[in-house]
Structure 1
Amino acid sequence: MSLVHQIEPLALAGMRPKDIAVRLGASQDYVRAAMSRMRKRGVPIPKFEGGNLSRTFDDRGWATLRAHAERRDLSVRALIKKTVLKLVEDDLFDAVLDDGEG
């Protein structure tokens, strides 16, 4: 089976490009390009947010995150993960977002 044909079922199952690349021994760029071509052909491959948080926050945001993480002896990534898990566990979306959607 060709590499592209191995990528498609994994991508359709929701596996991230990075994980597909590791599993199949391919480059992430190759996997992303193959997934892009599949989408153009109409295959319903889900889109994934990049794992790079560096573009998500400005300098002030990073400083705030670092300060809160340091107070808890956590990395910034661990703080973000812990925060999101708590948000989901306690269903705090309405309280945090205050967007009138709840």
Structure 2
Amino acid sequence: MAGPIPTLGYPSRTAAIEALRSQQLDTHAIARRLGIKPKDVTALEASKDRTRKQRGFGQIKRGAECSVEIAEHLKKQLRPHAARRDTTVAALAQTILETVAESDLVDAVLDDGKGGT
């Protein structure tokens, strides 16, 4: 199996598809931009969805790409949790951030007295 194919400045075609989808482009428009068939766009999205479900993360979130540096000591603390979930530290960290944000738990997690009322 081949590795990821960098596309449009993204690390893979799947990442490029996610970014274009977040811009509300339809499957045919995305396919034209990437120079692939519409069925390939659909197949790449379905494959990503299956992978996330198998790792216990549910439906993939469609949104903008984001990159966050994770300090080595935090990576070390997260590794066993990621391993138990058969995923990477980066994927686990992203899932934690998504869960905290989507569940409106930022103030509860930080508990720094700066939350809204």
- The answer to whether TM tops 0.5 is no
| Greater helix content | 1
Larger Cα Rg: Structure 1 or Structure 2?
Answer: 1
TM-score by length of 2: 0.39
TM-score by length of 1: 0.44
